[in-house]
Structures are given as C-alpha cells and as structure tokens.
Amino acid sequence: MENIAIVGVGQTVCARRREETFEQLVFEAATKALADAGAEIGDIDNVVTVSNDFWDGRTISSMAVQEAAGGWHKDISTVEGDGAFGAFYGVMRILSGSFDTALVVGHIKGSEGVMNLITNAMFDPIYQRSLGIDATAAAALQARIYMQMSGATERDFARVSVKNHGQAMKNPFAQLPMKLTLKDVLESRPIAEPLKLLDCSPISDGAAAVVLSNRRGLKRFKKDPVWIRGVGHCTDAFNLGYRDLARSRSLGEAAKKAYKMAKIKDPLKELDVAELYDAYSYMELMWYEGLGLAPEGEGKQLIREGATALGGVLPVNPSGGVLSGHPVIVAGLIRLIEATLQVRGEADKRQVKGAKTALAQGINGPCGQAHCVFIVGA
C-alpha cells in the first residue's frame, strides 16, 4: 500500500450538551486540524464528512455541514457511521490516485436525540423493534453471554470503568473524568442487567477531524507525519442470532489485516499503546481477545493484573476511552487522534513514555458488528 500519513488532528471537548450548532462544532474541529497541520483549506483536495441522519434529525445531514467542513467547491464524500470508517474511506480516496490530501470530519449532538429510540430503530422493524431492544439492551445480552463463556465477572467490568474514568482525569477533552472505586461502579444504578450506570458510556456532543496525505502532498504541511502502518476492516452478520456474541470474529479479521500490513506478529509486545472503543465496560475485555492481546476468555486477566493501565505492559485508553466521553459517530475518529498524539509524544499528562506504535479501533453496528483497526507509527 502507498504510504498515507496523518498530518493534522483536531477535536472538541466532549460534553453532555454543547450550545454550539452542528456546523459550529464541525468548523471548530476542522479548523483545529488544519491549524495543527500548518495548512489552509486550499491545501485539501477531498473532504469526507461523517454523520447520521437519525442522530442529526434531518435527512442528508452531511450536506448541511459541507461549508463548515471546508467542502465548498471541493470534491466531497460522505460516510454514515463511526468516524474511524470515515478515516478509512479518506485513505481509500487518496489511494484511488485522484487526490493527494483529505480532511475527514465527524460530528454528533447526542443531546438532541433520544438514544434508546434511535438505536431501537436500527433493529428489524417486524420482529425486534416491538420488543423495545436498543443498543444498551443488546449490549447487556452480549455481556451476559460473554460472562458465561469467559468466566469474567461484574467486578472485572468495574475494573475497566475505574481504570478508564481515572485515566480520563489526565485528558482535558474527556467528559467524565472521575476517581472511582470498584464499589462505586458495582453500586451504581442498574441499567440493563448485568450493566450498571458506570459500565455504560455517556451521551455526548462533539466533533473531530484529521488531515491525511500521501508522500506527494506532504510538502503542503508543516507537521511531521504519523504514518498509517496498517489498517483493516471487517463486518459480521447484522442479526444478533447469526453471531457468536461471546467472540468478535470481525475484530479478529480486521486486526489480522492491519497486523499483516504493519508486520506485527505479537501485538501485546510490539504495540506501545491502544485506544479501543469501550462503549460498555465489558467490551474492552472482549476487544483484548479479538485483537489477540489475550487468549479467548482470558481478557479478564489483563485487567486484573493491571497490564492495560498507564504504566502497564500495554496501556489501553490512556485518554479515558469512550466510557469517559461518547460522541457517537465521532468516537472512533477520536481514538485515531489519541493514537496519533501518543506517537507524536504530544498527549500531555496522558502520554505513554516512548510510544512509537499505536493501535486505534472503531466500531459500527449493534454489539460491535463491524470493526476498523488502524496501526500508526512515526
């Protein structure tokens, strides 16, 4: 694959409610990414916007933010889903040979939607929606199935929440930086058994953007490139009944593609830091296994041993992860931004010392149906 680099990143602060409009959030993130790259909008050949009509509450929602994203009189593409997949598409646009550079921007105002109604609408309209199932109910089902397969406990899930909310205290962009105890998590309000309030990510507003370039386009930018060493994407069946919910086959396949491209054979040893999409606490343990960081059913050992905390063998989510701020559509792109900052050595108080190779993951669909995995390095 031709080398593609990340040369600019920008993100807004995640919050339960931002007073700014969609357009203002997009403009803020895009402006920050361009400034970070030392560039102007004229240096961008292609713009990719990432949005969702249901969350935005309007049809063809991507069209309304084109000007704010710098798409005026430019070639513009749209992606509906997580921002990591938008970045993946931005890479593909450059690899097509038609463009040297791309700006990828994702946005969400979760505060203006009703999460359970919106995520209920993604299920089968005849057989499933009437049951009231939504993203959290489906996640609770998956969490219980995973517990039965792996022997992981609610206490193990709580350890993830304590770790990630605590690490978020070092991240100025996080929505929920908190010093928690296991008791705090285990005694928080039940949401959908076995998940409790502090096992679940919050509803958030926010936006994020990245600037991508091939080698030919690098002369337009001032920032040292962070190279995309590997990337992989894979999706599983949509219907939950067609999948083994205790295992993530699609993540495993996406990771294999990314590792092969990046020439990584032992990810636990060769990666320096990972940013994972932990929409619910149990997911982080499942993703350890899907990514090959732990054997099947043994993700719990990594969290019990502190291996994925800051200072551990492989720090995971030093930013606080999605549990500490979940702007749907944007969250996977933020994982890529945080991985980029780590490789640059610009992650401030959340910096992993000596980080040179980082992994970022995004997901789409119920219970992690589709996964996108990036490996980035200096």
Q: Is 191 within the bounds of a domain?
A: no
Torsions phi, psi for 234 (to 5 deg): -160, 145
Q: Is 167 within the bounds of a domain?
A: no
pLDDT at 267: 98
Q: Is 12 within the bounds of a domain?
A: yes
Region 254-258 average pLDDT:
98
| Assigned token pair, 56 | 């935005």
Burial 265-275 (b: 16+ CB within 10 A, else e): eebbebbbbbb
Whether the per-residue pLDDT at 362 is higher than 80: the answer is: yes
Domain extent, residue 85, equals 4-114+203-220
Kindly report which listed range (121-125, 143-147, 174-178, 324-328) carries the lowest average pLDDT score.
121-125
- Residue 17 belongs to a domain with what CATH number? 3.40.47.10
Q: Is 46 within the bounds of a domain?
A: yes
**317 torsion bin: left (phi>0), alpha (psi -120 to 50), beta (else):** left
What tens digit of pLDDT does each residue of 153-173 get?
Answer: 999 999 999 999 999 999 999
Mean pLDDT over the full length of the chain: 96
pLDDT at 176: 97
What tens digit of pLDDT does each residue of 270-320 get?
Answer: 999 999 999 999 999 999 999 999 999 999 999 999 999 999 999 999 999
What tens digit of pLDDT does each residue of 14-73 get?
Answer: 999 999 998 999 999 999 999 999 999 999 999 999 998 888 888 787 788 888 999 888
Q: pTM above 0.85?
A: yes
Whether the per-residue pLDDT at 2 is higher than 80: the answer is: no
Q: Is 350 within the bounds of a domain?
A: no
Q: Is 318 within the bounds of a domain?
A: no
Domain count for the chain: 1
pLDDT at 1: 66
Of 333, 7, 355, 377, give the one whose Cα is nearest residue 173. Answer: 333
Q: Is 97 within the bounds of a domain?
A: yes
DSSP letter at 347 equals -
